Structure 1
Amino acid sequence: MSALFTPLVMRSLDIRNRVWMAPMCQYSAPVGGERTGAPGDWHFTHLSTRAVGGAGLIMTEGTAVTAAGRITPADLGLWNDTQQAAFQRIAQGLRALGSVPAIQLTHAGRKASTARPWDGGTPLPPEYGGWRPMGPSPLPYGPGHLVPDELTVPEIRRIVGDFARAARRALDAGFQVVEVHGAHGYLIHQFLSPYTNRRGDQYGGSFSNRIRFALEVVDAVRSVWPDDLPVFFRASATDWLERPTAEGPGSGWEVEDTVRLSVELMDHGVDLLDISSGGVAPGIRKPVAPGYQVPFATAVRHKAGAPVSAVGLITDPHQAEHIVATGQADAVMLGRELLRDPYWPHRAARELDADHTWPKPYEMAHP
């Protein structure tokens, strides 16, 4: 029996396999008007195609909990009724196709207000359609980026509430998993890492202070999320900042910090850690290779005792099978590989001789 195609039970959910779609920003939401931030036909087709393709869980791209939390003006958001209604169509469609609909909630913090990647990805000041970014400390992401406004304690608490309200909307739209985005240099990660968090109050300095915002967000989300449905947390296991940089001290967030955080997160109701890396500083070179981030997930799984998903250049069915079968991770998240091949799960099942079936209308092509 294939480990990759063994169902995974999480709370009340029975996820049909361990091949999951990673969140990938599409930067394709409407800009301006009442449908700003709402998913459209592109998102519906993009996500439902991967459900037809056999992925057990489909994670939406990072969805901002407030307008100021978007990376670009074309990001998805979930702070109003129009957006919620558009997401309902997607969640219902994914469930009808046999996949678990999951949504990733995020706030970009100091990395907010930029142009789309194919438009240069440059910072957008307010006079060019952008807005003022915010962060734990007034430190810009990189050269040319706006200096973010340092968040006050009341503003931090308001953002915690924004996450809870977005989670409630996600539940009402029909999603069965919510993921808190605490990775890739976005706001929660900015509070976690000493590289970006230079605060002197209860949200900065010590490890327990720097994780406070993350735990408050998780508590707020869990307070509105049913006990029988899972909450995930995406973490960057390391900042890849082993040496001092020109911008500041080299000390950043590391694997052992992620292990410690994972223990705390599980105590606060998180069911799975979605492990990635990097993103808090520009210009970092990673030792990219097939499965290069899997050891981070394995460390969290073994040292913290947490269920984990692994991501990062997982492209081959036998590679993915080995990761799950040997206990390195409980599931694999596929990103770019599913962009190239939406039907990768079906192909993988065939290569692994797994007990898995194609949709009935497609069986004639795959005897």
Structure 2
Amino acid sequence: MGSTAFESPRVLRAAGLPYFTPANNAGAAINPQDPNTPTLFRPLKIRDVTLKNRVMVAPMCMYSTESDPASPAVGALTDFHIAHLGHLAAKGVGLVIIEATAVQANGRISPNDSGLWQEGTESEQFKGLQRVANFIHSQGAKVGIQLAHAGRKASTVAPWLSSQGKKSSIKADENVGGWPSNVVGPSGGEEHIWADGDKYWPPRELSTAEVEELVQAFARSAKLAVQAGVDVIEIHGAHGYLLNEFLSPVTNRRTDKYGGDFSNRIRIVQEVSNAIRAAIPAGTPLFLRISATEWLENQPVAEATGSWDMSSSSKLAKILPELGIDLLDVSSGGNHKDQKLQPHTNYQIDLAGQLRKEIRQSGQSTLVGAVGLITEAEAAKDIIQGADEAIETEGLLSGPEPKADAVLMARQFLREPEWIFTAAKKLGVPVSLPHQFGRGLL
């Protein structure tokens, strides 16, 4: 009898890394086409990017980069971010969105925030981002980045340094890397301080030329991000940061082409979107996060000017296809201290659902992401169940009417990094596991 030769199996190496780690693709449904597989665990294709499931890590500021403005590493992501974000990728999420990353130095919330304003692929900011992206990819996840400018909320210290409690911030002056004389907004002066003058700097009004330069800064950062390996770009237009400040008539009192009526106030978002879309490949998805409402309805501050509300968001949502926006990330609030916000489990989910319904009824297909107080597997499943199957026909929907096409979660992942595996088990969905952790997760 002849002998039979057997070849030992090999561990597949993850590509794109200078060190060894096995290639992982955790969190993918074993049989995504099974009719019993909930939409939450089915792939989502957006342009040329396919996410293995519909769960995204929402951006979370970590206040953990170098703050010294003289350091070449200022604003650059570090090994901490690889450990933090890479671990979530290893635990099965479909998309990891890197924290709000400033397109200009004065656009950081704090001196310790992430930035991507240094030009060139040899900069420390570029290299730090590339290392994070490469590791996330090695775990089978896609990586996004939220590009942002903090506007009048800039130059504050990390929240845990505040003596006023978790929800307060205190001013960052030059001694800690701050820029008190260069905090900016669509409008300037003491009356436009975000909140308590003891905690925030008064902004100065941006010139028209500076706004035009800001638009190009977003485009440059987006181009660098894609070169570094980022799969998805998100524009931060929410939570009272600069683009949100331009959108709202409460905070935008300008008289040039970027202020006044609705069409002028949304101009900066249109220009930023168009500039980014022109700077990145056609196959790269582009998201926009907005505050769907400021929660200022019937408040004195908005009586004279009006405010940004759901009707404003609906009007903006209808023109997003023209701007190349693929997904609307629906949050709320954060632009004025007098907001009357009463959070409950579905308060932002309902906003997302209303906007998605209006988008579909207008015949458009812009995707919608829901975020806010999503913690349980069943709740996440119900939010998007049927997103692929619900087709409008003669005013009726076949199947359930979903409130979003994807869910974004942040703090829950800080509490429960293995949420994907826990959710899959609760929902009865067999999913792939990371090779190194598989025995402990069975």
Question: Is TM more than 0.5 here?
Answer: yes
1:124 counterpart = 2:166: no
Preserved contact between residue 44 and residue 52 of structure 2 (Cα < 8 Å)? yes
Deviation at 1:214, TM superposition (A): 0.6
1:63 aligns with 2:104: no
1:26 paired residue number: 62
Runs of 5+ unmatched residues, structure 1: none
Does the 8 A contact of 1:102 with 1:177 survive in 2?
A: yes
Indicate yes or no: 2:208 matched with 1:158.
no
2:349 alignment partner in structure 1: 294
Q: Per the alignment, do residues 169 and 293 of structure 1 end up closer, same or farther by CA in structure 2, a change over 3 Å counting?
A: same
Q: Which residue of 2 aligns with 1:321?
A: 381
Whose Rg is larger? 2
Identity %: 42
Q: Whole-Å Cα distance in 2 between the matches of residues 130 and 360 of structure 1?
A: 44
Superposed CA deviations along residues 167-200 of structure 1, whole A, max 9, x for unmatched, are: 0110110000000000000000000001100111
Matched with 2:230 is 175
Residue 141 of structure 2 is matched in structure 1 by: 99
The code of the aligned residue for 1:202 comes to K
Residue equivalent to 2:415: 340
- Count of matched residue pairs: 367
Distance verdict in 2 for CA 1:159–1:63, change over 3 Å: same
Mapping for residues 166-315 of structure 1, pairs under 5 Å: 166-245=221-300, 249=304, 251-282=306-337, 284-305=339-360, 306-315=366-375
**Deviation at residue 79 of structure 1 after TM alignment:** 1.4
- Aligned mates of 1:335, 1:256 — CA distance in 2: 27
CA offset digits 1:135-188 (Å, max 9, x no partner): 111121122132211111100011111101100110110000000000000000
Task: Give the 3-state SS of the residue equivalent to 2:227 in structure 1.
Answer: helix
**Counterpart contact for 1:52–1:343, Cα < 8 Å:** no
Within 5 Å, give how 1:133-148 maps onto structure 2. 133-138=183-188, 139-144=192-197, 145-148=200-203
Alpha carbons of structure 1 residues 242 and 71: separation in structure 2 relative to 1, 3 Å: same
Shift of 1:252: 1.4
How many angstroms apart in 2 are the aligned matches of 1:122 and 1:135?
18
Q: 2 CA distance for matches of 1:291 and 1:47?
A: 27
SS in 2 for 1:308: strand
Letter in 2 for 1:56: G
Q: Following TM superposition, by how much is the alpha carbon of 1:260 offset from its aligned partner in structure 2, in angstroms? A: 1.0
Q: TM-score, normalised by structure 1?
A: 0.97
